[in-house]
Chain A
Amino acid sequence: MFNCSTRLSLLPREKSRDGMSEPRMIGNGPEEVKAGLAGHLSRLWRYGLVLTGRRDTAEDLVQATCVRALERAHQFEPGTRLDRWLFTILRSIWLNEVRSRRIRTGEGIVDAETFLTFNGAEQIEEGVLLQQVLREMQSLPETQREAIFLVYVEGLAYREAAAVLDIPIGTIMSRLAAARTTLGRLNADAAPLSHWPEAKHP
């Protein structure tokens, strides 16, 4: 069961997540924010879509995030990762301002993954993989799905994801461990030998 080839595949990945690979502008915060926003719109929209499950709401969230970021541009620390800062703003607007109102007014929340599975993934050819992954992610609590998105999809380091979600790093680790236990069991039940290609890391 624990043969050599399996063991090799379990070697930890070497990775560099210190963010130095992304070009940065060193300068004053407001200018960096204004110049950098345009490069992150698609990723902000995707995060909005994953959080809200709705394309129109995701667009609204990106706009509200841009407005807020420009308004608070002087608070951005030049040289730090702009995308992380923007994620934090977007999530905060969603949780504190949009979602809470929706719940109060009884509108409820569309399940993001259900939405993506039935209204997004099927529209694209490459969506088969997305559908497979999303179907499995349905079995996870929302908090674990969000940790997975930030760390494994967006490539945030644990401490960066913890900062975006405003939780201790240990909580990120336990959410990821719990998620991988669940998904690992699904894998073991479905096929003794993994049929999943190794994930690529940023």
Chain B
Amino acid sequence: MTDAPHHDRPSDEDLVAYLDGELSSDARFRIARAVAEDHELQRRLILLSGGQRPFRDAFAPLLAQAPEDKLKAMLDGLPGPVTPEEAAQPTRHSSNRWKALAAGLALFLAGAGAGWMGSSIVRPALEQPKVATESDDDDWRQSVAAYISLYTSETLASIPDDARAQELEIASVRAKTGLALSPQKLALPDLTLKRAQVLEYDQKPLGQIAYLDPESGPLALCIITGGGPDADKSTEQRLGLNVVYWTKAGRSFMLIGRAAMPRLQNWADEVSGRLSG
């Protein structure tokens, strides 16, 4: 509750608080008495009252437009809350878990900051110190999944198909990953290449080639250096997205999207064959 001044003439702020029911009963009584005796205050009160609108009703339809199901699915995909004990003494498990999430958040913010204009920007290193664990390999895929899960078809559809710009973007990814990439090598059946950009994960460059599939929406081919020994293709699901991942010549790859696994595997075979050839 807000107190109106005792002696001064009530201000517009006091009158609005009076109209909004924000005053203590004492203050309300004082204002009512002052208004009853003062024509200028009556005039002000009418003006301020006329500034009311059915704001709540007007904004109500927007609630129905919220993508509730999608947001709920997103929430379900997040790990449980950090407990006070975990916060005070982070265990290895929770520290890794939140490191992955924090990285995903940083990637998201990097994307939001750079816009979807396809500019290739090397992002500053993540704040969290690198802790070498055997699950580091998982962490980067989890981060990418968290980032890609935010993509919708609209995210990519708004990017203009500019061949020259894409060539420059791909050249930038090529320079950062040391991989002989070209628009021809990256062209995949049924998919439209929309953007190539360099992000950063754990102080390592992360190349991302984003595609749009008319059937399933966004897909991304991601490449990170320092990937360890060669590993054949494996599949997994993360945050409701299908993933095919492999390691070749010190680089880890993942192809991620909502497309069915067999289609994803076909594209993965195609692109991995071209990139090693």
The verdict on A41 contacting B75 (CB below 8 Å), with A70-B80, A151-B20, A152-B55 known, is: yes
> B65 touching A124 by the CB < 8 A rule?
yes
- Using A41-B71, A70-B78, A71-B101 as known contacts, say yes or no to A180 and B13 having CB atoms under 8 A apart: no
A66 to B276, CA, bound (A): 40
Given contacts A45-B67, A199-B54, contact A173 B78 (CB under 8 A): no
> Is there an interface contact between A9 and B150, defined as CB atoms closer than 8 Å?
no
Q: Are A41 and B72 in contact (CB under 8 A)?
A: yes
CB distance from A38 to the nearest CB of B (A): 6
Bound CA span A121–B56, Å: 14
A81 at the interface (CB under 8 A from B): no
Is B132 in contact with chain A by the CB < 8 A criterion? no
Question: Which single residue of chain B is at the shortest CB-CB distance from A14?
Answer: B21
Contact A73-B82, Cβ < 8 Å, known A10-B45, A43-B63, A102-B115 = yes
For A75, the closest partner residue in chain B by CB is B87
B181: CB under 8 A from chain A?
A: no
Determine the main DSSP class of A at the interface with B. Answer: helix
Among the 9-residue stretches B106-114, B183-191, B208-216, B255-263, the one with 4 or more Cβ atoms under 8 Å from chain A is B106-114
1/0 contact trace for A39-68 toward B, CB 8 Å? Answer: 001110110011000011101101110111
Q: Which residues of A contact B115 (CB under 8 A)?
A: 102, 105, 107
B residues in contact with A126, CB < 8 Å: 60-61
Is B229 on the interface with A (CB-CB < 8 A)?
no
**Chain B residues in contact with chain A, CB under 8 A?**
2, 11-13, 15-23, 28, 39, 42-43, 45-68, 70-72, 74-75, 78-84, 86-87, 98, 101-102, 104-105, 108-109, 112-115, 117, 119, 150, 152, 154-155
What 5 new A-B contacts, CB under 8 Å, besides A38-B72, A183-B53, A198-B52?
A: A6-B46, A30-B80, A124-B64, A153-B59, A202-B56
Give the B-binding residues of A (Cβ under 8 A): 1-2, 6, 9-10, 12-15, 17, 28-31, 33-34, 37-38, 41-43, 45-46, 49-50, 55-57, 59-60, 62-64, 66-74, 97-98, 101-102, 104-105, 107, 116, 120-121, 123-124, 126-127, 129-130, 132-134, 136, 148-149, 151-153, 155, 157-158, 169-170, 173-174, 176-185, 187-188, 194, 196-202
